[in-house]
Amino acid sequence: MTVPVDLADGALGLYSAVGDAFAGRRLGFGRRRAAVAARFARRRGRDEDAVAATWYAGSLAEVGLVAIALPPEAGAQQRTLAYADAPLHGARIVAAFPSAPPRASDIVRWHREHDDGTGIPDRLRWDGIPADAAALGITHAFLEAVEDPDEPREGVEAVFALAAESGRRFAVDLVRSFREFILAGDWDGPLAFARSSIDDDDAIRLLAQRIDARDARTGGRSERLATLGTMLAQRLDLDPRRTARLARLLALGRATDPVPQDDFDPFSRFARDGRAALAHRAGAIAASVAAYAADAPPLAASATWYEDGNQEPLAGVLGLLLAVDALSPLDAPRRLAAASGTQFAPDTTRAYLAILNEAP
């Protein structure tokens, strides 16, 4: 279903937040970057199409990180080469959005290029770097300085910190015009575009698939959970569509680097801390986007146990989905029966076992 949404607070916002999560940034950094970059584009006299493309690219600039999964033992060189392709992966993700402005993909592709030819992914140099991409690059570096967790800065202070990169990472003229833009004030504040439409369900399905694909053990997991979640929801009188969406959103918990190991026995109490961390991350990412804020509580509670009390039925279903996905169908009846009343709600367990019994 295609619905018009305010893109910043819809699926695109979720993609942006996932980029933030993989980059280890504050959730919402990407949307702030988009707004500042779009304001800067307006100030540079770009037409509205270019401003929209810049905003779109600013939101999704770091989403390419989702495609990079390195083993923990990867060396520094291997990491350098893999991360050099992050903008390229991001460009491909953006290009796959039917509603994306045509230029957005190339802005993402080249926003990390440096004026002196030392950037990624292509080591373009000088005015071979598209001006909009270079402008997004300096905006990104500026906000990194503003939101530096070790040394947060005011805008004016941060823009002067960029001066050392004049003629190196950023063209001299670009640094000059960006400084004037910041010193003029009014560079911050939300800015959203609601001109395009996007299929939210489809976008989330693709996002979950991308996160699943980072690890051979989770390939295709989200779709399995969504299918089973729909069946369980129908039996438990829950909203099947929402359950399927939440099942896919569980993948957000794994939006971190390195790939979290979550294949420890899901029925073990020793796995609870790890699972709770994943659930809370999924909840936090969902909570950072207005359209999915209501989905955050069941996601965050999906690692709770029935015996803890006050378990929301939907959260219980999500917890059960994750657990049974890791089980052989032959083991499921025995182990689920043992966990009924402690880890899982009895009626949820019964509903799942009934589905198993009816399976051909």
Partner 1 sequence: MIDLPTNTRRISGTRLLDLCRARGISSLVDPFMGVPTHLNVLKRHGIAVHGGDLLEWFVRAGEGLVVNDFTILRDNEVAAVVEMLPGRIYPTDLFRGWEGVFFSEDQCRYLGVWHANVHALRSDGQTGIAVIGLWHVLCHWLLKAHHPDEMIDIPPSELAWHHIREAQRWIADNGKRNTVRRGDFTTTLGAVRADAVYLALPGRSAAKRIDARVWMWEAWWQGDPYLNIERLYRETVFGGATNDDVSYDRAAAAVLAAAESTPYIIIQSNARDADRFERLLRERRPNTERANLDRDEIYIIGKK
- Site residues, partner 1 (CB under 8 A): 77, 80-81, 84-85, 88, 91, 106, 109-110, 116-118, 121-130, 163-164, 166-168, 172, 175-176
Q: Classify burial at 353, counting beta carbons within 10 Å of its beta carbon; exposed 0-12, middle 13-18, buried 19 or more.
A: middle
Q: Where are the beta strands (DSSP E) in the chain?
A: 3-4, 197-198
The span from the CA of 169 to the CA of 253, in Å, is 34
3-state class of 49 per DSSP?
helix
User: Quick one: 130 or 333, whose CB is closer to partner 1?
Assistant: 130
Q: How far is the CB of 166 from partner 1 (least distance, A)?
A: 5
User: Quick one: 54 or 348, whose CB is closer to partner 1?
Assistant: 54
The span from the CA of 276 to the CA of 134, in Å, is 40
The span from the CA of 115 to the CA of 86, in Å, is 19
The span from the CA of 267 to the CA of 272, in Å, is 9
User: Quick one: 95 or 259, whose CB is closer to partner 1?
Assistant: 95
Element at 47 (helix H, strand E): none
Q: How far is the CB of 87 from partner 1 (least distance, A)?
A: 8
User: Quick one: 168 or 195, whose CB is closer to partner 1?
Assistant: 168
Q: How far is the CB of 80 from partner 1 (least distance, A)?
A: 5
Q: If you search the block for the tokens 């949307």, which residue do you land on?
A: 31
Q: How far is the CB of 154 from partner 1 (least distance, A)?
A: 21
User: Quick one: 39 or 112, whose CB is closer to partner 1?
Assistant: 112
DSSP state of 72: T
Q: How far is the CB of 141 from partner 1 (least distance, A)?
A: 15
Q: Classify burial at 20, counting beta carbons within 10 Å of its beta carbon; exposed 0-12, middle 13-18, buried 19 or more.
A: buried
User: Quick one: 69 or 84, whose CB is closer to partner 1?
Assistant: 84
The span from the CA of 138 to the CA of 61, in Å, is 12
Q: How far is the CB of 75 from partner 1 (least distance, A)?
A: 12
Q: How far is the CB of 104 from partner 1 (least distance, A)?
A: 13
Q: How far is the CB of 146 from partner 1 (least distance, A)?
A: 21
Q: How far is the CB of 116 from partner 1 (least distance, A)?
A: 6
Give the number of other Cβ atoms within 10 Å of residue 360's Cβ.
2
Q: How far is the CB of 175 from partner 1 (least distance, A)?
A: 7
Q: Classify burial at 1, counting beta carbons within 10 Å of its beta carbon; exposed 0-12, middle 13-18, buried 19 or more.
A: exposed
User: Quick one: 164 or 294, whose CB is closer to partner 1?
Assistant: 164
Q: Which residues contact 160 (CB under 8 A, 6 or more apart)?
A: 179
User: Quick one: 102 or 149, whose CB is closer to partner 1?
Assistant: 102
User: Quick one: 77 or 310, whose CB is closer to partner 1?
Assistant: 77
Q: Which two tokens stand for residue 268?
A: 């073990």
User: Quick one: 95 or 277, whose CB is closer to partner 1?
Assistant: 95
The span from the CA of 135 to the CA of 43, in Å, is 11
Closest CA to 10 of 89, 96, 95, 97: 97
Strand pairing partners for 227? none
Decide if 204 contacts 249 (C-beta within 8 A). Answer: yes
Q: Which two tokens stand for residue 78?
A: 């291997």
